[in-house]
Amino acid sequence: MAEGATHRIIDTNGIKMHIAEMGSGGPTVLLLHGFPETWYTWRFQLKALADAGFHAVAPDLRGFGLTECPKDSSGNLKLSPLDLLGDIVGLVYALGEDPVFVVGHDIGAFIGWNMCRMRPDLVRAYASLGVPFTGAGGAPPFGFPTEEGFYVNRFAVPGRAEKDFGRFDTATVLKNIYTLFCRSELQIAGPDEEIMDLVTTSDTTPSWLTEEFIKVQSELYEKSGFEGPLCFTYRNLMRTFELLAPWINMPVTSRCLYITGKDDYVRKVPGLDEYVTGGGMKRDVPNLVDVAVVPGGHFVEEDSPEEVNSLLIHFFKE
């Protein structure tokens, strides 16, 4: 576990949310993780931010790790983008330290961008890792691959990923997903393949993907299961864009930083890099101060922690 972090449960938006935190007395930085992650993905940032004088807080998002995910009257998990944003807004008020700095990675970046749009009063500045602003409602400004075997489309099918994952123990599933997501190419399965089948013996893994890392994450996913994380990250994705339609053409006015890995597979999404570098993102996020490209892939906070920490600390102290 992250040495020096303290853990507690916060009541927010009708659920009990687990948070890990380090540092006290300074400005608060919220760290919002992605999939297949938990608070533990931020272990390098928690210490660095605390050492720099910040109060760093890393929650398990709704349905992940040790944080609850209630069901509605029909038995469906309550996992709309507004549910998760409401959790974070409630967390900010529970901490009593608004406004706050926010960092989001992967699906956590979606929440961060939505927070900038819907509750800019609570955001001192925002840093997004791996996922750029995805448009002001209705649909993303770039196209997701339409192939049936694209992992996003496969994970969006209820029960399919669970059946695929069910062939392995939790530790193997997580190691396989991390291995695939560390590649620089989009993951697309053939008609007779499942996503787990794409992992090969020739795949290399980064140095941070240790047995200890997999052990910690596995224990947390064995408590939460994969249904909640898959539902919010993939199965509600298009519905998320639909629900954001009222904010169409509304720019993000918060001061923002975008950090991406040089070899992040997300950059291969058709039109994404052109949107980021060709002026589209700057148009939609006029206070975007920089697009920083650092060594590594999708998990830049773990591939290049020193570079990411330096960028975050400098950005928040400006």
Judge whether 275 counts as a catalytic residue: no
Left, alpha or beta for 63 (phi > 0: left; psi -120 to 50: alpha)?
left
CB contact at 8 A, 120 and 250 = no
Judge whether 221 counts as a catalytic residue: no
Q: Out of 112-116, 125-129, 193-197, 248-252, pick the least confident.
A: 248-252
CB contact at 8 A, 16 and 68 = yes
The active-site residue, picked from 18, 55, 105, 298, is 298
Q: Out of 47-56, 195-204, 305-314, pick the least confident.
A: 195-204
Judge whether 33 counts as a catalytic residue: no
What's the mean pLDDT when you consider all of the chain? 93
**Interatomic CA distance for residues 90 and 124, integer angstroms:** 16
> To the nearest whole percent, how much of the chain has pLDDT over 90?
79
The architecture in CATH of the region 6-317 reads 3-Layer(aba) Sandwich (3.40)
pLDDT one-digit tens code per residue, 181-192:
999 999 999 999
Banded model confidence at residue 242, pLDDT cuts 50, 70, 90: confident
Please report the DSSP string for 21-57 in residue order.
EE--SS-EEEEE--TT--GGGGHHHHHHHHHTT-EEE
The active-site residue, picked from 234, 258, 265, 275, is 234
Higher local confidence (pLDDT), 236 or 303: 303
pLDDT one-digit tens code per residue, 112-124:
999 999 999 999 9
pLDDT value of residue 220: 97
Please check the confidence at residue 95 and state whether its pLDDT lies above 90: yes
Banded model confidence at residue 307, pLDDT cuts 50, 70, 90: very high
The active-site residue, picked from 83, 106, 263, 303, is 106
| CA quadruple 223, 228, 229, 230: dihedral sign | positive
